[in-house]
Amino acid sequence: MNTFAASKVRRPSAGPVRAMHQVGAGLAVKEAPALPTLDEMIQRQDFTGAVTLLQFQKQAGEGGPLAQPWLAYAHFHLGDYAKALDVYTKLQAEDPANGDYHLYAACCHFYLGHYKEAIAEAKQGAATGSPAKQRLRNRVLMHCAYKVNNTALLDEASAACAHASAQGSIHDALSVAALQFMRCQFQEAADEYQRIIKENLDCDAVNMYIALCLYKLDHFRISLDFVSKYVAKFPDSASALNLRACNHFRVFDSARADADLQLLADKLQSSAHAFGRELVEHNTVVFRGGQDAVKVLPPLLDVVPEARFNLTVHHLRAGELEDALSLVKDLEPKTPQEYVIKAVAYAAIGVANDSAEFIKEARSLFTAVGSSESERDTIPGRKCMAQFYFFERRWEDVLIYLNSIAEYCSADASFNVNLGIALAGNGEWEEAAKRFLVVPDTDPEAETFSYRAWLARCHINRGAPDDAWGIYLKLETQGSVDMLLLIATDCYRAGHFYHAYKAYSTLHRLDASAEHWEGKLGAAAGTLQLVLADQLPKTAMREVISDLRVSAPPGDSETHHVLQTLLRWAQANGVKFD
């Protein structure tokens, strides 16, 4: 929102400064470069210089009647809304009849988050002023009404803004698009911004707004193109640098994103203003895989909208389900993102606790997003519908939704994992394995047991049990028993009896239960079948028989019978033992 219409400012009355320099034996007079005027500083957006000049002129008793309004203007555009408000408050006391000062104070209150105060000030300002001031007043009222959920005022003010937009007011058109964005109507907002920029080619900032809409729609590569052009022209823009870092995180890797963010952090470090620092703190946690999430994110829950989402995800990944639930159980979702994070948390808790109630609620939340008119044709909306069908194991329907957005999500590890699971569920094991292997080993997704288990299952069912066994060998102690059980049962079912035997044998050494021993005996008999069918070398049976001879429980007649049968075969086929 522009708080002032363009106008000329009185130039300082002081003349040029002259300096005397001694040259050789005589004296020469050299004129020093003229100091920039306030006009020039404002035109090139040097608001820090403008504040310095105006404060100097005030101390010198110069500046004229417009000095204080311009000082407030400069403070406002530096983001020093409290200082600007202080100046406007003093100007109101000096000139109570001037409604403009109330209007400009309303703008300050808005950016300070004082929405009720902003509404009160705006209603006192410029109600019958120039058309430009009336439009500004309507914009302030519209944005504040949205923030405080004043439906009646919002309808009235937004209708006025829409009418002004249709009459060609670019500021009102931008506000209408901003309202669409805040309502999560990202495609509609992007369309409005595209219309604006076609009619106003010099509005560079609109490229930023389009990039932000595209990011919210998960079109990360296209968003990156738009924001990169903007950064090339305005390299000091905190918002643009942050958005570029987020796109780099989505399209490439966390290292490139973190480097971008540190560039922004360095710029903010040398600045006296705090704008953007909360975003840097929040995104640093995300880019570094949740490092310091519990320390950094809680204070940002009411500052950065994504903080609640990412803190919940952190707790879910750490298995801290109760902590995740505490963040969302009382959340009354209003935006698609709030619906999604509550759905994800409820789904995780429902699966972990086998709770039909939580799963039912998660399905309802996913459907609310995926079937809504505003979201059903968006990438997030289609992801939600895919998640809904996941619960019903309707893999073909899951694949329809995921394949429709695959070209936009190829760099998203979570997406690739979900698509891999759907392909595996549909029996497309080879394609599923390829999709899992797209995920980098360094990605947090690749370190989860679920990912490793599904990848192992894919290897087994595509006829590569050695690769599944390799996954087990790389595991730490945690999860190794569960992986052995998966390999034993899946290999047995798929006819890979030698690998099933190795898994059951290892399990039996860890837990000498009758179930593990029976699986071991059955796998030994199956291994012999594979050797007889020339699908395995005889050396495999030598390994199996040697292990059975030393591990067989004494006095077990069934084991004795199986072992004698295997030994007779070995003797007849020239298999010798040490």
Q: What is the pLDDT of residues 173-214, one digit of tens each?
A: 999 999 999 888 889 999 999 999 888 877 888 999 999 999
Q: Where are the beta strands (DSSP E) in 417-572?
A: none
Pull the structure tokens for residue 471: 């996954």
8 A C-beta contact, residue 369 and residue 340: yes
What is the DSSP secondary structure assignment for residue 331, as one 8-state letter? -
Domain 448-572 fold:
1.25.40
pLDDT of residue 61: 76
Q: What percent of the chain has pLDDT over 90?
A: 44
DSSP code for 378: S
CA 250 to chain centre: 8
In eight-state DSSP terms, residue 35 is: P
Biggest CA-to-CA distance, the chain: 123
Nearest to 405 by CA among 430, 377, 368: 377
Q: For the chain, how far is it from start to end, CA to CA, in angstroms? A: 87
Tokens of 192: 């409005």
Q: What is the pLDDT of residues 384-410, one digit of tens each?
A: 999 999 998 999 999 999 999 998 888
Nearest to 403 by CA among 388, 425, 386: 386
Task: Evaluate whether 358 touches 350 at the Cβ level (below 8 Å).
Answer: yes
C-alpha span between 151 and 164 (Å, rounded): 20
Q: What is the DSSP string of 554-570?
A: TT-HHHHHHHHHHHHHH
The helix (H) or strand (E) run that includes residue 21 is strand 18-23
| Residues recorded for the chain | 578
Map residue 85 onto helix, strand or coil: helix
The pTM score is 0.63
Q: Domain spans of the chain?
A: 1-78, 448-572
**Model confidence at 22: pLDDT above 60:** no
Helix (H) or strand (E) holding 233: helix 220-233
